[in-house]
């Protein structure tokens, strides 16, 4: 009997690509979702050649109205049972909030929060009916504190933290696990699209997408509540929880302002 599929959103680059590789290596058939179909097709060809797993590709902009329902309906129409859901798709925006284009901010909210929430509900219901499954929510180290100059983005990731922590309790007797990943700065296209520059003090914390994906997938199958890749990121998260909030925000804001000044 074939395993259930692993659905990975944002699978055309970065952490999403590497998580897809990790799951294919473990023999899971895949459902790859992203806006850039040509990249998905290239990844499908490479993974099928290397691992021989079945791979379905769905081109979908998850920031669009009704996108999560449309994706779910398309997967159901293909009769592809989903055993693993990886909500990886996300986008960031850096800069002074008052100067941001609100249409872009709204699309970020839709992608980072609305679609993630709806996909979790739709596929989570099916997993509960089947008595098991795994969900991985990709948040960010920015979830742990308000961060000036990525204020709205950090808030979306704080939402993912709070939502997933609460839902984990609701799912505890269902056989469905839910894990939150809190990556720090990672070598992906993310910062380029977000127009964000890395503060010099954070340079030593940077991990590769492959490193983060390996940590994430192992945590997923271990049914861990949460995982923070990298020692420095763990230390930062710890101090964010014990130091005065005003001090932490001041330090983060000062570093971000210096790094992203014109």
What tokens does 59 get? 């081109």
Q: Do the beta carbons of residue 230 and residue 236 sit within 8 Å?
A: no
DSSP letter string, the chain: -PPPEEEEESTTSHHHHHHHHHHHHTT--EEEEES-HHHHHHHHHHHHHHH---EEEEE--TTSTTHHHHHHHHHHHTT--EEEEEE-------S-GGGS-HHHHHHHHIIIIIIHHHHHHHHHHHHHHHT-EEEEEE--GGGGS--TTSHHHHHHHHHHHHHHHHHHHHTTTTTEEEEEE---SEESSHHHHHT----GGGGGG-EEHHHHHHHHHHHHHTT-SEE--SHHHHHHHHHHHHS-HHHHHHHHHHHHHHHH--
Nearest to 34 by CA among 111, 89, 94: 89
Q: Which residues are annotated as catalytic?
A: 153
């Amino acid at each position: 009997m074939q395993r259930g599929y692993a659905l990975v959103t944002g699978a055309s680059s970065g952490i999403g690509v590497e998580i897809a590789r990790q799951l294919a290596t473990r023999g899971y058939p895949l459902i790859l979702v992203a806006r850039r179909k040509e990249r998905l097709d290239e990844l499908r060809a490479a993974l099928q050649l290397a691992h021989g797993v079945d791979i379905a590709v769905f081109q979908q902009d998850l920031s669009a109205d009704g996108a999560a329902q449309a994706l779910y309906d398309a997967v159901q129409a293909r009769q592809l049972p989903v055993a693993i859901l990886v909500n990886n798709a996300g986008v960031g925006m850096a800069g002074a909030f008052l100067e941001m284009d609100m249409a872009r901010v709204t699309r970020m909210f839709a992608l980072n929060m609305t679609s993630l929430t709806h996909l979790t509900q739709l596929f989570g219901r099916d997993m509960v009916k089947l008595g098991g499954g795994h969900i991985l929510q990709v948040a960010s180290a920015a979830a742990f504190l308000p961060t000036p100059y990525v204020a709205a983005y950090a808030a979306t990731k704080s939402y993912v933290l709070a939502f997933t922590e609460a839902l984990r309790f609701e799912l505890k007797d269902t056989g469905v696990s839910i894990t939150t990943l809190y990556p720090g700065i990672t070598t992906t296209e993310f910062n380029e699209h977000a127009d964000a520059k890395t503060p010099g003090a954070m340079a030593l914390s940077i991990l590769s997408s492959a490193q983060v994906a390996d940590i994430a997938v192992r945590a997923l199958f271990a049914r861990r509540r949460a995982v923070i890749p990298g020692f420095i990121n763990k230390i930062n998260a710890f101090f964010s929880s014990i130091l005065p909030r005003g001090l932490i925000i001041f330090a983060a804001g000062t570093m971000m302002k210096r790094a992203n000044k014109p």
